[in-house]
Amino acid sequence: MTAILEYFSSLNPLNLVRNIPSSVAQGLIWGLMAIGVYITFRILDMADLTVDGSFTTGGACTVMLICAGVPSWLALLIATLAGTAAGCVTGLLHTRLGIPPILAGILTQFALYSVNLHIMGMAANKSLNPDKYSLTVTSRNIPLSIVFAAVIAAVVIVILYWYFGTEQGSAIRATGNNPSMSRAQGINTNTMKVIGLSLSNALVALAGGLMSEYQGFADINMGRGAIVIGLAAVIIGEVLFEAIFKSKLNFSFRLIFVLVGGIVYYLVIGIVLWLKLNSNDLKLFTAVIVALFLAIPHLRQQAKVSFGAHGRANGEGGKHA
């Protein structure tokens, strides 16, 4: 009993509040990454595991380029292009060589580990001194970082909203929605998949670059589990939107709520850490959360239409008069 009281009295609510801005900043950056995941997972209807590698690629490129004297914006742009290339490789492995999409992503991710080490000059960790270089986002100045991350995210959302309304964007959506219909309508579904995967990983690498600036280093393992965090943000965003607005999402709102999902995810992580849970258990915690949210639509459907529900409707245990 005293142990529990001691535990609670050791928790300082101020610490929780104090951590909110940092959670929001990180949530925005991961939310941007999650928008990349959204493009493959929801629009193309494939789970792309390249992102675990391309997130690190973005971070590695950004840190190395900035250390070499390249301005932050250009470093981020080049990181984005590197991510595009990574997505393109996965797309070609899948479409040209017939490798299933999940496996193609895993292969690229695996290969990127070596590539990322090469980018970082065979070091597992490279630090970036925020005092020495001018950075777009940094944990030294969280409010300004939030503003910049939000502006970048807003620009990305506007561009994506426009792009997926164009002829080419529509063709990508159709490819994910019904590939055989798309081919019958003259859409080269293979090309569309490659473009979608490239675009997705471009955003993921951009987010990786921003994250490395924010935390002041790039680490070979910084992208581990990125796909899960991305999925968490996508799903939390969707569930929240439906709970609040009780309607299906319009495309731009979907993207905004992926960002919101990223922020909510980091706020929850903030609470978990504040509760002094072992940070090594975070991945387990995240996996459970994502599994739960992925399961909710299925379980909800099952509650409505299932053998069990049928039995309950017919009276307990199916007792008939």
Task: Identify the residue among 77, 183, 216, 267 touching other proteins (CB under 8 A).
Answer: 183
- Does 170 engage in binding with other proteins (CB under 8 A)? yes
DSSP per-residue codes, 213-277: HHHTEEETTTTTTHHHHHHHHHHHHHHHHHHHH-SPPPHHHHHHHHHHHHHHHHHHHHHHHHTT-
Tell me which residue has tokens 């997130």.
55
The CA distance from 206 to 203, in Å, is 5
The rounded Cα 108 to chain-centroid distance in angstroms is 17
Closer Cβ to other proteins, 126 or 173, answer by number: 173
> Measured from the CB of residue 295, what is the shortest distance to other proteins in angstroms?
22
- Does 184 engage in binding with other proteins (CB under 8 A)? yes
# of chain residues touching other proteins (CB under 8 A): 22
Stretch that binds other proteins, among 6-14, 21-29, 93-101, 177-185 (CB under 8 A): 177-185
Closer Cβ to other proteins, 186 or 317, answer by number: 186
Task: Identify the residue among 51, 106, 119, 171 touching other proteins (CB under 8 A).
Answer: 171
Stretch that binds other proteins, among 77-85, 120-128, 175-183, 306-314 (CB under 8 A): 175-183
| Residue 139 neighbours by CB under 8 Å, 6+ apart | 22, 25, 130, 145, 214, 215, 216
Task: Identify the residue among 113, 161, 163, 274 touching other proteins (CB under 8 A).
Answer: 163
Closer Cβ to other proteins, 134 or 185, answer by number: 185
In sign, the C-alpha dihedral spanning 278, 283, 285, 286 is: positive
- Does 158 engage in binding with other proteins (CB under 8 A)? no
By C-alpha distance, which of 230, 174, 238 is closest to 201?
230
Stretch that binds other proteins, among 15-23, 62-70, 118-126, 178-186 (CB under 8 A): 178-186
First CA to last CA distance, the chain:
53
Degrees to nearest 5, angle at CA 49 with 112 and 77: 60
- Does 166 engage in binding with other proteins (CB under 8 A)? yes
HSE, CB side, 13 Å, CA atoms: give it for residue 308: 6
> Measured from the CB of residue 174, what is the shortest distance to other proteins in angstroms?
5
Length of the chain: 321
Task: Identify the residue among 2, 9, 10, 180 touching other proteins (CB under 8 A).
Answer: 180
> Measured from the CB of residue 302, what is the shortest distance to other proteins in angstroms?
21
- Does 169 engage in binding with other proteins (CB under 8 A)? yes
Structure tokens at 312: 């309950």
What b/e string do you get for 165-195 counting C-beta neighbours within 10 Å, with b at 16 or more?
Answer: eeeebebbbbbbeebeebeeeebebbebbbb
> Measured from the CB of residue 182, what is the shortest distance to other proteins in angstroms?
7
The CA distance from 73 to 79, in Å, is 10
Stretch that binds other proteins, among 59-67, 104-112, 122-130, 184-192 (CB under 8 A): 184-192
Stretch that binds other proteins, among 74-82, 99-107, 176-184, 305-313 (CB under 8 A): 176-184
- Does 177 engage in binding with other proteins (CB under 8 A)? yes
- Does 174 engage in binding with other proteins (CB under 8 A)? yes
Closer Cβ to other proteins, 13 or 186, answer by number: 186
Q: Which residues bind other proteins (CB under 8 A)?
A: 163, 165-171, 173-174, 177-178, 180-189
